[in-house]
Amino acid sequence: MKKMKIYRNYRKSNSITLFNGDSKKLLKKIESESVDLIITSPPYCMKKAYEDPKDDIRTFRQQHIDIFKDIYRVLKPGGSICWQVGYHVTNICLIPLDYIVYDIFTSENDDLEYPILLRNRVIWTFGHGLNSTQRFSGRHETVLWFTKGSDYNFDLDKVRVPQKYPGKLSYKGPNKGNLSGNPLGKNPSDVWEIPNVKANHIEKTEHPCQFPVAIPQRFIKALVPEGGVVFDPFMGSGTTGVASILENCKFIGAEILTEYYSIATHRIKNAINGNSVFRPDIPVLEPNPNMSVSKLPEEFEKIRRIKNGEY
Ligand SMILES: C[S@@+](CC[C@H](N)C(=O)[O-])C[C@H]1O[C@@H](n2cnc3c(N)ncnc32)[C@H](O)[C@@H]1O
């Protein structure tokens, strides 16, 4: 296969476009109805290193209103949008960002030939994160998967996962006594347990908010036809680009900050050269009870006993 080449300026014929600038500007150049999947995680306006400290929830809303028309225009009929967001956290409360995205992305449906239709609200759950003391610790975010119109591509067989009990038999009906599962594995469902990219994750770069390769990779496998076009308007460290290359797709990405743009370019070049570092999308294992970190430290045990009134 011909080696993919990276271009900085968009042309429809490019196999990979990595744009260092504002995605609004890039969007204006992308040809209408040319993209199969738009998948991204936008800024949550939470005062991260890459955000303006003045940005707040109104900024989040406005940024989405500003780009939606072009997002819709560049997507092919039958194409998909996967928007990965969490919560906007203030010192008063949490605001679920997917409500805002849903509202904006579906607000024009009455006037559209191909309405934007929600197919799944995937719960992405992970084992680690900040520990809260005043509420339950947050261990999930969501991905809204929409399609443009009702005739869309979905290849379930490409993303089946192993059954816990593959030998299970039907216990009633005409198939009683026969194997009840699909030989290729089961539907991964709309709850995905995939480790988030924290300090010890093999995919970790200097970017503060990466999502793991497995998230875009699963969507690309299921939703994008062979050789299709994937677009990430807020590509950060280039995770979606890496997943696109692993799945033999074309990729268009925008990143406004040069520091992250360089990381993305480096990762995507490695992927092109077959040197990508990523955690394969395999089920999360149970903890190994023999590892020293799995054992309950004596001091914890003592405090628990005191709390239980045992001393
Ligand atoms: C949540 S991060 C995306 C992280 C990415 N999913 C990854 O795995 O690395 C959002 C990114 O959007 C970038 N960004 C913010 N506004 C932008 C804009 N108008 N155009 C392009 N990129 C932008 C930020 O610098 C940040 O790197």
The pocket around ligand 1, CB under 6 angstroms, is made up of 22-23, 41, 43, 50, 207, 209-211, 234, 236-237, 239, 254-257, 260
- 95 alpha carbon – ligand 1 mean position (Å): 20
Task: Give tens-digit pLDDT for 271-291.
Answer: 999 999 999 998 777 777 887
* DSSP, res 173: S
Confidence of residue 223 (pLDDT cuts 50, 70, 90): very high
Q: Which of the residue ranges 30-39, 44-53, 127-136, 181-190 would you say has the lowest mean pLDDT?
A: 44-53
Task: Give the Å distances, CA to CA, from 38 to 3, 91, 129, 138.
Answer: 23, 32, 27, 26
- Phi/psi at 229 (nearest 5 deg)? -110, 130
Q: What is the pTM of this model?
A: 0.93
Q: Sketch out the chain's domains with CATH numbers.
A: 6-153+194-280 (3.40.50.150)
Categorise residue 171: left if φ over 0, alpha if ψ from -120 to 50, beta otherwise.
alpha
Residue 239 reports pLDDT greater than 80? yes
Mutate to test the pocket of ligand 1, among 26, 39, 50 (most ligand atoms within 8 A of CB): 50
Mutate to test the pocket of ligand 1, among 211, 256, 267 (most ligand atoms within 8 A of CB): 256
What pLDDT, on a 0 to 100 scale, did the predictor assign at position 1? 56
Residue among 96, 84, 227, 70 at smallest CA distance from 145: 84
Confidence of residue 68 (pLDDT cuts 50, 70, 90): very high
User: How large is the average pLDDT for residues 158-184?
Assistant: 92
- 235 alpha carbon – ligand 1 mean position (Å): 5
Non-local (6+) Cβ contacts of 70 within 8 A are 24, 27, 28, 30
- Report the nearest atom of ligand 1 relative to the CA of 211: 8
- 191 alpha carbon – ligand 1 mean position (Å): 25
**DSSP secondary structure, 56-73, as one string:** -HHHHHHHHHHHHHHHHH
